[in-house]
Structure 1
Amino acid sequence: MSTDAEFADAQRVPPIPPQPPRRPAAAPGPADDPQTAVLRRVPPEPPMPPLPPSAPGAPAAAGPHPVPPRPAAPPRAQPPAAGAPLAPRPDRAPGSPAPTGPAAAGPAAPGPSQPTAFRDTPAFRDTAAFHLARSQDLWSGPGERSAGRPSPVPWPRSPLPRQGVGHGTGAPAAPFRRPGARVLTAAACLILGIGLIGGAAAGSWLTEDASGAAPTAEAVFSKGRDVWHDTPVDTLFPRTVKGLGSGPGGADRTWTRIAVAPDTGCTGAYDPKLAATLAPAGCVRLLRATYVDATRSAVITVGAQTTKAGPSAMTALNTRFSSKNLGTRTDLMPLPYAAKGTAAEDFGRAQRASWTVRVLTDLPAVVYAVSGFADGRTFTEPQPAEAAVRPGTTTAPAESGLGHDAKDLADRIEADFRKAAGSPTPTRQAPS
């Protein structure tokens, strides 16, 4: 058995650093680890000197003192006893070069009672355990030096879906396709059409009165003066006009336009007496067109004269026509428009069978119509249209329907002029 004196200096042994929390799969060799390759060789531990015979607990028999086996873990260092001398510190670490100058004053060299292996703690900095503890930073990083601290666990990432596979179904997703030129063109046309419709609606709203009321009579009369050049000819004089139940006995009538006269003044457009009668109203422009019925046996000329007179002058002229029956006088009949190369080529003064003249009061216009046979036959007793359409009339203009043709086409052209001027409710004029 060994005595306590043999472990008198064991209390100065520093604790062995704890084993790192984890080690790599294979430690790098000296050739791979630059810090391990420069380690110095650990000097061999010197043998323990024998204890003097006078020391307590020494063996009685003389001879070499057996060295006890080194424990696996050194005991915890105890503070030195009171009055016990401390081991002197060496002037330099083992293996370091000696100073070139004179030796500095310091503690004496260790004696036989102070083992060389346990002279000072810095001697253990060249041991493999010391470098093994420092190599922990190479394995785990500077932030994991504390023993027992758990290594940081990376946050789990959700796997990204593979390209071309739909979420949750596993079926291939439809590839993205750019819209074609036809789709873009259709979309552009749709947007443009919606914009045009919206603009037209907004324009109509802006032109109307804020309360939604109909335009005033003054506005309608003023706009009617520009109808002749602001309205297409097919609107004022349609190519085909259908008269349901407008013929003799309620028969249906259809008229087709065969000629349109250029817009002209009123000079030479009337007989002298009719021109003198309409002169107080003035003349801005005269429009005329000629129609033929479905049997091509009757021809009708319709006309519209835009006047310069105001509402009061037009009312006075209308009163004159009504009070003096100027609309029934045969010497005040309007002239037909006999277009060359048409069915109305032979339609002249002698062929006039029925007529009507209307002086409007809500528009600056005079509307008229005159009818006759297409074969050029003459009439010695023409009849006004308002008289020829009365039931029971047996005259030639009444039975042939020429009175109905003149009246109904005049009604249609009058309505077209009022509609173009913005008049909401056409005013029917009394027979002139």
Structure 2
Amino acid sequence: MPPPPPAASARFPDAPPAPGDRRTTVPAESAAETTRRLRPIPAEAPAPPPAPAPPSETPGVERPFVSFGRPETYDDSVRVRRRSGRTRPRTLAAAACVVLGLGLIGGAVTGSWLTGDSSAGTDARSEFAAAGELWHSVPVDQLFPPTVQGEGAGPGGADRTWTRVAVAPDTGCANAFDPLLRKALAPVGCLRLLRATYTDATRSLVTTVGLLFTKADATAMTSLKARFQKEGLDRRTDLMPRPYAAEGTVAAGFGDEQRASWTVSVLTDAPVVVYAVSGFADGRAVTDPQPAQDAMKSGATTAPAQAGLGHDAQGLADRVERGFRKTVTSATEKPS
């Protein structure tokens, strides 16, 4: 027996309900419903604005409310809760990663500092130690070149050229300094002293340059430099270095009384003190010696300043120091 045909309402949706059909008919014009806030909920396809619902076909019976969407307030709150639920754990996780990363980095840095495992610190210590051994392994011509060019090193920016006239044998410091200077340098000790004397292009001025290799570590050198700067020991006339006078040269008469200008530089990246002292080649005595810093000032009228002896002392000391630093760098470079 074939199944009974479907009801007319199923076959013809727009047909009126058959007798006995209990469905509630919703007119087509109410396809777009409203929420309790009276805001339209869009249907799947665009639809014209809703028209006022017609009066109920049955007097005294209200049309039922039909809606397929949740109110916006519910959707917004759900979205906020869901977004908050997703964002907060992610934020906390990211913050935890940052804190953990900083902790690891800080721990690594602190550990290397405590153990002295820093490559930069190791290189610096190696370079410092290597610098202290160069006095017996580097040729004298490398430490004290036969000719030194001083571009712009003279008064008013004039060029200078210095020629080496003598090299002193490497010795200790027993008679190399005046008693007060020897006492000032005592905290760092004296390992070896190297000296050379130069003359200018006119052969009327002479300058002795010295490299004092100490027995000190970097801390002691730093302390000595700070003391020289604080107490102005490099500017005191009773702390002038002594020159090296070589017989048979233009510097033969360059003694203590001929000292006119000087400079002393305590290095902290090498156990070395660099100094220079200049004077006249004719053996004249100088009654008003002046530190190089003062003799190089514009307007200085002393005899050392007028002759450019401050420029000679400072210029030669600077260039010998630069050459020494280059030698240290070459000696400690690692092959690539």
Query: TM-score, normalized by length of structure 1?
Result: 0.48
Write the deviation string for residues 31-70 of structure 1: whole angstroms up to 9, x where unpaired. xxxxxxxxxxxxxxxxxxxxxxxxxxxxxxxxxxxxxxxx
Deviation of 1:218 after TM superposition, in Å, equals: 1.0
Matched-pair contact (CA < 8 Å) for 1:220–1:423: no
1:248 aligns with: 155
Question: How far does the alpha carbon of each residue in 1:203-259 deviate from its partner, in whole angstroms, 9 at most, with x for none?
Answer: xxxxxxxxx989821111011111111111001000000111111111111000000
Q: 2:229 aligns with which of 316, 322, 326?
A: 322
Q: 1:216 to 1:423 in 2, by over 3 A?
A: farther
Which residue does 1:277 correspond to in 2?
184
1:386 alignment counterpart: 293
Q: 1:317 to 1:214 in 2, by over 3 A?
A: closer
Amino acid at match of 1:249: G
Q: Does 1:301 align with 2:179?
A: no
Bigger CA radius of gyration: 1
* 1:2-401 pair list within 5 angstroms: 216-401=123-308
1:209 matched residue in structure 2: none
Give the 3 Å change call, closer, same or farther, for CA 296–214 of structure 1 in structure 2.
Answer: farther
SS, match of residue 206 in structure 2:
strand
Q: Which has the higher contact order (CA 8 A, sep 6+)?
A: 2
Distance 2:272 2:245 in 1: 23
- Count of residues in Structure 1 that have an aligned counterpart in Structure 2: 213
Letter in 1 for 2:192: R
Q: Which residue of 1 aligns with 2:329?
A: 422
- SS state at 1:398 partner: helix
- In structure 2, C-alpha distance between the alignment counterparts of 1:215 and 1:253, rounded to whole Å: 39
Instruction: Give structure 1 stretches of 5+ with no counterpart.
Output: 1-211, 425-432
The whole-number CA distance in structure 2 between the counterparts of 1:293 and 1:393 is: 21
SS in 2 for 1:362: coil
Q: CA-atom RMSD, angstroms?
A: 1.8
| CA–CA separation in structure 2 for the residues paired with 1:411 and 1:265 | 23
Work out the CA distance in 1 between the residues paired with 2:266 and 2:157.
27
Asked whether the equivalents of residues 162 and 200 of structure 2 are also in contact (C-alpha less than 8 Å), the reply is yes
CA separation in 2, counterparts of 1:317 and 1:235?
Answer: 27
User: Aligned equivalents of 1:300 and 1:238: distance in 2?
Assistant: 14
Please state how far the C-alpha of 1:312 moved relative to its aligned partner. 0.3
- Relative to structure 1, is the Cα distance of residues 260 and 313 closer, same or farther in structure 2, using a 3 angstrom cutoff? same
1:261-282 deviation digits (Å, cap 9, x = unpaired) = 0100111110111111101101
Distance 1:314 1:267 in 2: 20
Secondary structure of 2:316's match? helix
Give a deviation string over 1:365-388, Cα, whole Å, max 9, x none: 011000000001111110000111
Partner of 1:201 in structure 2?
none
Aligned equivalents of 1:236, 1:387: Cα separation in 2: 27
Render the CA deviation track for 1:136-163: whole Å, top value 9, x for unaligned: xxxxxxxxxxxxxxxxxxxxxxxxxxxx
Q: Is the 8 A contact 1:227 1:417 kept in 2?
A: no
- Is contact 1:215-1:422 (8 Å) kept? no
Separation in 1 of the partners of 2:159 and 2:283? Answer: 24
Aligned equivalent of 1:406? 313
Q: Which amino acid aligns with 2:139?
A: P
Post-superposition shift, 1:392? Answer: 2.1
Report the secondary structure of 1:216's partner residue.
helix
What TM-score results when the alignment is normalised by the length of structure 2? 0.61
Give the 4+ runs in structure 1 shifted more than 3 A: 212-215
The CA distance in 1 between the partners of 2:274 and 2:330, in whole Å, is 16
Moved more, 386-395 or 357-366: 386-395
Q: Is the 8 A contact 2:188 2:216 kept in 1?
A: yes
Secondary structure at the residue paired with 1:393? coil
Partner amino acid, structure 1, of 2:127 = V
Task: Label 1:250 to 1:220 Cα distance change in 2 as closer, same or farther (>3 A).
Answer: same
Q: What residue is the counterpart of 2:40 in the other structure?
A: none
CA contact (8 A) 1:304 1:367 kept: yes
* Bigger helix fraction: 2
Task: Quickly say closer, same or farther: Cα 1:214–1:255, change in 2 above 3 A.
Answer: farther
Residues 386, 403 of structure 1: 8 Å contact kept = yes
Per the alignment, in what secondary structure is the counterpart of residue 422 of structure 1?
helix
Q: Compared with structure 1, are the counterparts of its residues 423 and 281 closer, same or farther at alpha carbon in structure 2 (3 Å cutoff)? A: farther
